[in-house]
Structure 1
Amino acid sequence: MENTNPQPQNKFGNWLKTSITARMLMVGFLIIILLIPLSFIESLIRERSFRQQDVVNEINEKWGNNVLVYGPILKLPYKTFIETNIFNEKTKTYLKETKTEINYAYIFPEILKSDVKVNSKKLTRGNFESAVFTTNMDFSGFYIPTDLNSKDIKKEDIIWDKATVIIQTSNLKGIKSEMHLKLNDETYAFQTNYDENSKNNNTYLDALETDFINPDAISKNANANFSISIAFNGSKQIELIPIGKTTTMHMTSNWADPSFMGNYLPNDETKTITKDGFKADWKVLHINRAFSQQHLNKIPNLSEFAFGTKFMVMVDEFQQSERSAKYGFLVIGLTFLIFFLIQTLSKIDIHPFQYLMIGIALTMFYTLLVSISEHSNFLKAYLIAGISVVVLITLYSKSILKTYKFPLFIGFSLMALYTFIYVIIQLENYALLVGSIGLFIILATVMFVSRKIDWNNG
């Protein structure tokens, strides 16, 4: 006997196939699901970026850290007298007692000139690289005759034969040769053993101090001329604190992408930057900075007044990859929107699994981009990853849509979208403007294409 009962209809399945609302909900749900692997990819990019920074720090630590020079500073001891009243139990009277203490005055030079020659290069470890340099810094200038009357210190209270000269630096380990101070006609060696009690708030700076200098060089009414040469292995940046009443610095280097930093920029009239390197000149007057030439008790913290140049690898592949990944939601959303419009206008069924495969292919773009950019430049990695994903999705679309017209349109749209995102990534000042205009054009295109869809049907 034949079964005449009708088969139960799959109303939910039919609703998914025929309802525009159902397809929109399905596509939106898949986009939200794909945000999970996108977040993992962004975490991967940050992890690789931190790894790069660790490797760069390790390279710099072994070669030499950033260079900051603070000095030369004349360290001048002087006597201070403290009177105290001491009660005598036997006589029942107070006796005056004078105690002598030794304090220090720190004198900055009247003129400080520096000539800095920098030979830069890149060091690599595995897939990572860091900019390092070797620099020769020649300092010259003079101290004017010392007068501390403005500090209420008498000339006879100054201990002239105990004076020294101090230089502080952030890169003690990177010094390549012995340092000597030539003061007038005499030469003094620097040692790393100066009094810790006179150390200033710049706890990250190490100090070098000379032996006691000839008192005739600074106690007489004549200028004390000095010169010092320092050779460093360093990385990242070179800075100088302008302690001269007039401070000048001339810097030359073979580095083609300098970034001038600090409170003072080089003179535009003399600054030149070419593919073979750069030359720059600074001049800082005492009226340009808010500190005096004489200080008592401790060396002041003047790091905020430093100026100089950064020697950094300008192209940060991981930063560009991270910026690209931030547009992942836009790429997936617009690609799904294209397939949704094609499905709605052409009445071709696209299964949720096929949407999912397309979404996963789009997320693979970013893993390809990160992995390839570690072995090549960002543009080459972007081209390889983009072309691979576009070809894969185009061929897969051919098997879904059964025609050549729609897959070619999808491939062209993806190429235009990836090109648009690459342009935004490269721009800095105009990224927001170009991005806004591009999104407006995309919105207008979608509105134009979808104007004939009957949204009330389902």
Structure 2
Amino acid sequence: MNKNLTIKLGAIALLILLLLIPLMMIDGVIDDRQQLRDGVLQDIARSSSYNQQVSGPVMVVPYRRVMHNWKINDKNKRYDDPWEERGRLYFLPERFELDGQVQTELRARGIYEARLFHAENRINGQFSLPAQLGIKEDFADYQFDAPFLAVGISDIRGIENALKLELDGQRLDFVPGTQVGWLGEGVRVTLPLLDTSKATELAFGFDLRLQGTGALQVLPVGKSSSVSITANWPHPSFVGNFLPAKREINDAGFSADWQTTFFSTNMQDAMSRCVSNNDCEAFNARSFGVSFIDPVDQYLKSDRAIKYALLFIVLTFAGFFLFEVLKSLAVHPVQYALVGVALAFFYLLLLSLSEHIGFALAYLLSASGCVLLIGFYVCHVLRSVRHGLSFSAGLAALYGLLYGLLSAEDYALLMGSLLLFGLLGVFMVLTRKLDWYGIGQKSAKPLEFDIGAVQ
């Protein structure tokens, strides 16, 4: 390879490395804007309500137990010095059902928007309490206080209605606080005293209107749990340890149904470990639900796009170089640099426009602006409108392929591999008869500008 060609390729490689500097700066701007957006969303959630998780209901039965302490007095007679133990019994529902109807709305602060949800939940179920509450010891030593039903709600600021429990024809008022540390925040309702001498069935139901930001999750506390959620959000992201057994998603929204049992959740054992060992992580982690956050926002798409920036610059410079060697044109490194800077500015335009008009339209306008600017410039650099338009068409096709890569994430690797292989094939076909040793041995012929093809 001759010296001129080596110098030219070295200059192009150096330009590519230098263009990484503005690209990294733009990537930093994307991260900064995303963090700023996240901070604004947290502020909006702080002034309304955060993610919501419904945990419960759990029935709590406080008890006092007489503990016998037999001793021997000075007269060698045995006597009882009893003391009282206080504790609680916890029961999960035999059946738990939640039917949620969710509507979402946007709250804006400046150019940023947060998506809030309002969930109309109907919760029904049944408790099956065994005779003597399952106590195997001397039942006469136990005294029971009034039981209560506790429902954990992760952010009680989101409760939008006065909660009333329907229990066997009675309507009982909830009060704030669960009084159960491992349930966290929430509400509770005091129940009538139980007839503990026999097995008891208690059917319950209540309405819970809940506002939140981000995600709505449910802890399947029932021996059998059934959860149904419908919403007007067409981009649900199902989260948690269990996926819906059935779901339907369309442009108007989605509906999803979950079914679990104690066999799949092992919830009773997890609650026992939580109560006895204060190890509640496994209990709280068995939740599931749906996130109402856009899974792929403009910042994530912009970040994905800039990851292909180096590939774009290399392919554009390769096309430039191909015209140069095939048509014996002299393209100065400064002209390479200007085209490279225009390509880098595409990502800055894309980021700034997408914050105001959406990613798709921002991509169209940014790509169109860059193609027109580079096309106009290349027409003069290559001294031919036809060659300039051909170059612009190829660049527009690259932008179209990039948008396809960003939209079809699952097929990005396949599409990218086929693209590179196809471009390599085109380059090899066009240069199959090129005398690489002869490039640069004679000076490039300056061609007059015309609107036709260069022969």
TM-score normalised to structure 1 length: 0.86
- 1:51 aligned residue: 36
**Distance across 1 between alignment mates of 2:257 and 2:94:** 19
**Distance across 2 between alignment mates of 1:217 and 1:311:** 44
- 2:266 aligned residue: 290
- 1:372 aligned residue: 353
- Give 1:53-202 correspondences, 5 Å limit: 53-80=38-65, 97-147=81-131, 152-195=136-179, 198-200=180-182
Unaligned runs of 5+ in 2: 441-455
**Distance across 1 between alignment mates of 2:137 and 2:215:** 39
Contact 1:160 1:219 in 2 (8 A): no
Q: How many residues align?
A: 434
CA shift in 2, pair 1:214/1:76, >3 Å: same
**Distance across 2 between alignment mates of 1:424 and 1:286:** 43
**Distance across 1 between alignment mates of 2:87 and 2:219:** 24
**Distance across 2 between alignment mates of 1:175 and 1:41:** 42
Alignment root-mean-square deviation, CA: 2.9
TM-score normalised to structure 2 length: 0.87
Q: Please give the secondary structure, in 1, of the residue aligned with 2:226.
A: strand
Offset at residue 172 of structure 1 (A): 0.7
- Which of 176, 179, 187 is the equivalent residue of 1:208? 187
**1:280 aligns to 2:265 (yes or no):** no
**Distance across 2 between alignment mates of 1:272 and 1:351:** 58
**1:330 aligns to 2:311 (yes or no):** yes
**Distance across 2 between alignment mates of 1:218 and 1:25:** 88
Contact 2:131 2:198 in 1 (8 A): no
CA shift in 2, pair 1:299/1:194, >3 Å: farther
- 2:320 aligned residue: 339
- Which of 21, 31, 38 is the equivalent residue of 1:36? 21
CA shift in 2, pair 1:398/1:159, >3 Å: same
- 1:400 aligned residue: 381
- 1:9 aligned residue: none
Specify the code of the residue in structure 1 equivalent to 2:242: Y
- 2:453 aligned residue: none
Offset at residue 244 of structure 1 (A): 1.1
Specify the code of the residue in structure 1 equivalent to 2:19: L
Q: Please give the secondary structure, in 2, of the residue aligned with 1:115.
A: strand
Contact 1:77 1:158 in 2 (8 A): no
Offset at residue 218 of structure 1 (A): 6.2
- 1:228 aligned residue: 206
**1:237 aligns to 2:215 (yes or no):** yes
**Distance across 2 between alignment mates of 1:324 and 1:241:** 38
Q: Please give the secondary structure, in 1, of the residue aligned with 2:404.
A: helix
**Distance across 1 between alignment mates of 2:126 and 2:238:** 27
**Distance across 1 between alignment mates of 2:245 and 2:55:** 22
Q: Please give the secondary structure, in 2, of the residue aligned with 1:324.
A: helix
Offset at residue 381 of structure 1 (A): 0.8
Specify the code of the residue in structure 1 equivalent to 2:95: I
Deviates more, 1:377-386 or 1:303-312: 303-312
**1:386 aligns to 2:371 (yes or no):** no
CA shift in 2, pair 1:139/1:218, >3 Å: farther
- 1:12 aligned residue: none
Q: Map Cα deviations across residues 326-351 of structure 1 (whole Å, 9 max, x no partner).
A: 11101111111111222222222222
Contact 2:175 2:189 in 1 (8 A): yes
Q: Please give the secondary structure, in 1, of the residue aligned with 2:145.
A: helix
- 2:284 aligned residue: 303
Contact 1:180 1:190 in 2 (8 A): yes
CA shift in 2, pair 1:161/1:408, >3 Å: same
Specify the code of the residue in structure 1 equivalent to 2:233: W
Contact 1:266 1:280 in 2 (8 A): yes
Q: Map Cα deviations across residues 383-413 of structure 1 (whole Å, 9 max, x no partner).
A: 1111111111111112222222321221111
**Distance across 2 between alignment mates of 1:391 and 1:137:** 54
Q: Please give the secondary structure, in 2, of the residue aligned with 1:75.
A: strand
Specify the code of the residue in structure 1 equivalent to 2:148: T
**Distance across 1 between alignment mates of 2:226 and 2:406:** 39
Specify the code of the residue in structure 2 equivalent to 1:225: A
CA shift in 2, pair 1:219/1:384, >3 Å: farther
Aligned-pair identity in percent equals: 29
Specify the code of the residue in structure 2 equivalent to 1:260: F
Offset at residue 132 of structure 1 (A): 1.3
**1:428 aligns to 2:404 (yes or no):** no
Deviates more, 1:129-138 or 1:39-48: 129-138
- 2:447 aligned residue: none
Offset at residue 59 of structure 1 (A): 2.1
Offset at residue 324 of structure 1 (A): 0.6
Specify the code of the residue in structure 1 equivalent to 2:304: R
Q: Map Cα deviations across residues 285-313 of structure 1 (whole Å, 9 max, x no partner).
A: 22221132874556944222112222222
CA shift in 2, pair 1:299/1:441, >3 Å: closer
Deviates more, 1:358-367 or 1:115-124: 115-124
Offset at residue 279 of structure 1 (A): 2.8
CA shift in 2, pair 1:186/1:25, >3 Å: same
Q: Please give the secondary structure, in 2, of the residue aligned with 1:313.
A: coil
**Distance across 2 between alignment mates of 1:371 and 1:134:** 31
**Distance across 2 between alignment mates of 1:24 and 1:48:** 36
- 1:4 aligned residue: none
Q: Please give the secondary structure, in 1, of the residue aligned with 2:104.
A: strand
Deviates more, 1:292-301 or 1:402-411: 292-301
Offset at residue 252 of structure 1 (A): 2.5
Offset at residue 149 of structure 1 (A): 6.8
Offset at residue 80 of structure 1 (A): 4.4
**Distance across 1 between alignment mates of 2:174 and 2:117:** 23
**Distance across 1 between alignment mates of 2:360 and 2:261:** 45
